[in-house]
Amino acid sequence: MTAILSASELMSEMAGSRPPVLLDIRWQLGGPDQRPAYEAGHLPGAVYVDLDRELAGPPGSGGRHPLPDPEAFGAVMRRAGVRSDVPVVVYDGGQGWAAARAWWLLGWTGHPDVRVLDGGLAAWTAAGGAVTADTPTPVEGDFKPNPGARGLLDADAAASLARTGLLLDARAGERYRGEVEPIDPVGGHIPGAVSAPTTENVGPDGLFLPAETLRARFARMGATGDTEVGVYCGSGVSGAHEVLALEVAGIGSGLYAGSWSHWSSDPARPVATGPNP
């Protein structure tokens, strides 16, 4: 099973005998709320899920987007119609970060068949896909979270992996280098981490680069078949997109969900700056 699917593939599945549950995860860092955009037009049958309130716990000691309580997350997914025996396809406005967060959470909590629409709503409409303003009322799902099916790193595990394996920093290069830090208390990166902006995993059309291209990119950073790989970002959102890109490339990885917002909240943790790990 692939982690992503194209708009044309989704069209075929939606017309088939076993259509997937569709979740709209449109989100923008710092706002505004994307529910009005969803209500103005979305994929037929798609249910809106709010990243800040439903795919994350309250911001605080765990970071800006800590993982949600699994039971609360499960209740959200059931209300959205998610069933353990029905495929799920998630999408967002096109950047892919928010959809990847939902993909990662569903996979981490044990859903066996969840994929991301490559290119999101933009790719869907470009392919001639229909949108609707009709808001569905899904039948209650039965999904019950069982966390642990994906690799999850805490701060200590991330620091260790930066020394013994490969820890990728999915943020923009200038944040990694510590030249700017628009959100968190301090700029820079976890010592030993390698800069790997997730924006470079997609082409100008917003679609993921081919799997072989991604494999070559990550190989240049040190991701070989024998290397344990971890990822972090600012708060566990764009990092999920990098984990997704790695999976497209056939490379397993763990996510430091607290990411830089968690790491930098403790002044005792070391910080590196500049272009080198």
Residue 272 lies in a domain: no
Final residue before a domain boundary, out of 126, 159, 177: 126
CA distance 238 to 157: 19
CA distance 197 to 172: 5
Residues 6+ apart with CB under 8 A from 146: 109, 110
Contact 201, 253 (CB under 8 A): no
Residue 75 lies in a domain: yes
Residue 55 lies in a domain: yes
Is the pLDDT reported for residue 106 higher than 90? yes
Residue 243 lies in a domain: yes
Residue 136 lies in a domain: no
Is 233 part of the annotated catalytic residue set? yes
Same-domain pairing of 21 and 70: yes
Same-domain pairing of 107 and 172: no
Is the pLDDT reported for residue 168 higher than 80? yes
Above pLDDT 90, what percent of the chain? 95
Final residue before a domain boundary, out of 93, 126, 159: 126
What domain range includes position 82? 4-126
Question: Which band of pLDDT confidence, cut at 50, 70 and 90, is reported for residue 111?
Answer: very high
Is the pLDDT reported for residue 275 higher than 90? yes
Same-domain pairing of 95 and 203: no
Tell me the CATH number at 255: 3.40.250.10
Same-domain pairing of 84 and 169: no
Same-domain pairing of 155 and 122: no
Question: Which band of pLDDT confidence, cut at 50, 70 and 90, is reported for residue 31?
Answer: confident
Same-domain pairing of 9 and 109: yes
Same-domain pairing of 104 and 49: yes
Is the pLDDT reported for residue 1 higher than 80? no
**Rounded (10°) CA dihedral 176, 178, 183, 184:** 90
Mean per-residue pLDDT for 97-118? 98
Give whole-number Cα distances, 151 to 101, 134, 175, 201, 230, in Å.
Answer: 14, 37, 25, 21, 9
Annotated active-site residue in 233, 249, 255, 257 = 233
Residues 201, 203, 204, 206, CA torsion sign: negative
Same-domain pairing of 103 and 179: no
Question: Which band of pLDDT confidence, cut at 50, 70 and 90, is reported for residue 265?
Answer: very high
C-alpha of 78 from chain center: 20
Residue 146 lies in a domain: no
Tally of domains in the chain: 2
Final residue before a domain boundary, out of 126, 160, 192: 126
What are the pLDDT digits (tens) for 78-102? 999 999 999 999 999 989 999 999 9
CA distance 263 to 265: 6
Is the pLDDT reported for residue 224 higher than 90? no
Residue 196 lies in a domain: yes
Question: Which band of pLDDT confidence, cut at 50, 70 and 90, is reported for residue 29?
Answer: confident
Residues 6+ apart with CB under 8 A from 80: 21, 23, 47, 49, 138, 141
Same-domain pairing of 92 and 169: no
Residue whose structure tokens are 């969803």? 38
What are the strands of the beta sheet with 166-169, ordered from one edge? Answer: 151-153, 254-256, 229-232, 166-169, 194-195
ω into residue 32 within 30 of 0, thus cis?
A: yes
